[in-house]
Structure 1
């Protein structure tokens, strides 16, 4: 227990900030190489209150659509153990976002969501929540693979012959392997449960995941389709914000580059409050500059998306967590 605690402290308070500082330094050096970077930075700041302000507002509205779709997806899955209203599901999702903000690769999200379930149903609900994440990850992997292939075909050929082209190939191979394996697992969950049941030592844990037997192909496809819809909302946000911050790329280029950003974020271990922003910045620059060299605009877009999709929902969730504590104290 002490050893695990020390490892967590090392990751969260030493390695995490160190990685962020290294990324920030690398980004700063790239920013300095951009012509008139100070003027570009000022322009990016003015853009938030300029004639394109409505696009920023629309991106914020999309945030509520995004988490609303996620809430509906979780509501469908969790129905196997407990029925929740759409409002309750939304509260659970926002609460999960708050806890995810401080944990590696958002694993705290599961614990935040199950606070709204009955005590005897919480452990079973974790496996269903993981299925929702698997559906989103499947979309991220397959679309990301398509994005890499697009970048390799239509991106800046000079940059693709540098280190950027090498790491794109490595990510592509890893994504293909992961996507194939995950797809097989996703559509064979019931078979997986039955296979684990045959192992005597795992009979007790199996009782908590047996609920996956109830997830038929129709439910799994609904979860997958909602994941695609949510992914489309993300792309819409990026397209709007790129336009706000004068990053001039087409719809196809947005889809190709952003899909690779999401793919890398899904593969690389990050902590939202420490390293994820740095990774977003770094990957965003490396990928989007294949089509546009406005590094300041790319940084501003990545920051805006991070604030809109993670910081604001985490703040909303923190208020909901406070409400839960106040309610429990009164009770």
Structure 2
């Protein structure tokens, strides 16, 4: 395990550096890129900076919705106070920064659960992840259809690009149908899994899924839609600050595909996630805007506000937990 962790820490920064190099090459090949960098700095200190403060204010709203989702998901095992759920999602964000594909998020959250309920809580937490992924796939599917129906001039006539969109569309459709069936039939899926030879030893993880109430699952799904809307609003606010002129439908269509890529492509650490976020945003949104520097700046600002600041807060909460237990 230690060897695997060491390899992860080596590969993470390496992939990040490679992606950063490609992005750097893209930036310096843009016309007047030095002027663009100066414009970005001016934008931060411009009268539009209030939009950045509003995005920062939306960060606790974003994680508050996630905390509420988790609070609802834990009802079958006794529930959790919203205050503790809110702290848990921040702590989970801290742990997620240093684990492949943000898997450490589950470990960070269960620190706030009593020991006897922690194993069951991991399985229930997955319901929140599945709901958010379903929303990402669904809106991402709409985004692909939007790009396919009204392709930007830079994409029109490029059969390889359109073919790639068609392939991605069918992959997303299959994943969405599969996850929808699992989400709507947790009890049935749990029963089927328990009949598979060798799964009895995992029954403690599986049986807890049978107790999900349909109303709770529906509320979790609606909250996932709400969280997605917060993400789109944040990007819509930040793009103009950095001089990226995009209409609302272009933001929704473009970012839905970016979120889709972020959801399905595995990442090693928060560094590789940042690199992938930059690369995906630039590749998709430059179909509508040539301001690569502004797209890069927007992605970095959202990453900093939505992930790094919560991770720092979560690290302080971890210290608080240790001090509390030591007493």
Report the Cα distance in structure 2 between the residues aligned to 1:313 and 1:272, rounded to whole angstroms.
16
User: Quick one: structure 1 residues 139 and 94, their matched pair in 2 at CA, closer, same or farther if it must change by over 3 Å?
Assistant: same
Name the counterpart of 1:176. 173
Deviates more, 1:95-104 or 1:208-217: 208-217
Report the Cα distance in structure 2 between the residues aligned to 1:272 and 1:304, rounded to whole angstroms.
18
Q: In the TM superposition, what are the counterparts of 1:38-77 in structure 2 within 5 Å?
A: 38-77=34-73
Report the Cα distance in structure 1 between the residues aligned to 2:268 and 2:200, rounded to whole angstroms.
34
Report the Cα distance in structure 1 between the residues aligned to 2:144 and 2:196, rounded to whole angstroms.
40
From 281, 301, 304, the counterpart of 1:304: 301
Report the Cα distance in structure 1 between the residues aligned to 2:129 and 2:64, rounded to whole angstroms.
15
User: Quick one: structure 1 residues 155 and 244, their matched pair in 2 at CA, closer, same or farther if it must change by over 3 Å?
Assistant: farther
- SS of the residue aligned with 1:242? helix
**Does the CA contact (< 8 Å) of 1:78 and 1:125 recur in 2?**
yes
Query: Shift in Å at residue 156 of structure 1?
Result: 2.0
Name the counterpart of 2:322. 325
Name the counterpart of 1:20. 16
Structure 1 moving runs of 4+ over 6 Å = none
| TM-score, structure 2 as length reference | 0.95
Report the Cα distance in structure 1 between the residues aligned to 2:229 and 2:80, rounded to whole angstroms.
26
From 207, 215, 233, the counterpart of 1:236: 233
**Does the CA contact (< 8 Å) of 1:197 and 1:206 recur in 2?**
yes
From 198, 202, 207, the counterpart of 1:201: 198
| TM-score, structure 1 as length reference | 0.94
CA RMSD in angstroms, aligned pairs only: 1.6
From 100, 105, 111, the counterpart of 1:109: 105
**Does the CA contact (< 8 Å) of 1:155 and 1:291 recur in 2?**
no
Name the counterpart of 2:144. 148
**Does the CA contact (< 8 Å) of 2:194 and 2:206 recur in 1?**
no
Name the counterpart of 2:287. 290
Report the Cα distance in structure 1 between the residues aligned to 2:222 and 2:197, rounded to whole angstroms.
36
Report the Cα distance in structure 1 between the residues aligned to 2:34 and 2:159, rounded to whole angstroms.
27
Report the Cα distance in structure 1 between the residues aligned to 2:20 and 2:322, rounded to whole angstroms.
37
User: Quick one: structure 1 residues 105 and 164, their matched pair in 2 at CA, closer, same or farther if it must change by over 3 Å?
Assistant: farther
User: Quick one: structure 1 residues 272 and 257, their matched pair in 2 at CA, closer, same or farther if it must change by over 3 Å?
Assistant: farther
Report the Cα distance in structure 2 between the residues aligned to 1:173 and 1:22, rounded to whole angstroms.
30
**Does the CA contact (< 8 Å) of 1:241 and 1:301 recur in 2?**
yes
Name the counterpart of 1:135. 131
**Does the CA contact (< 8 Å) of 1:82 and 1:117 recur in 2?**
no
Query: Shift in Å at residue 164 of structure 1?
Result: 4.6
Unpaired segments of 5 or more residues in structure 2?
Answer: none
Report the Cα distance in structure 1 between the residues aligned to 2:49 and 2:154, rounded to whole angstroms.
35
Name the counterpart of 2:268. 271
Report the Cα distance in structure 2 between the residues aligned to 1:25 and 1:164, rounded to whole angstroms.
23
User: Quick one: structure 1 residues 252 and 71, their matched pair in 2 at CA, closer, same or farther if it must change by over 3 Å?
Assistant: same
Unpaired segments of 5 or more residues in structure 1?
Answer: none
**Does the CA contact (< 8 Å) of 1:101 and 1:271 recur in 2?**
no
Name the counterpart of 1:124. 120
Name the counterpart of 1:224. 221
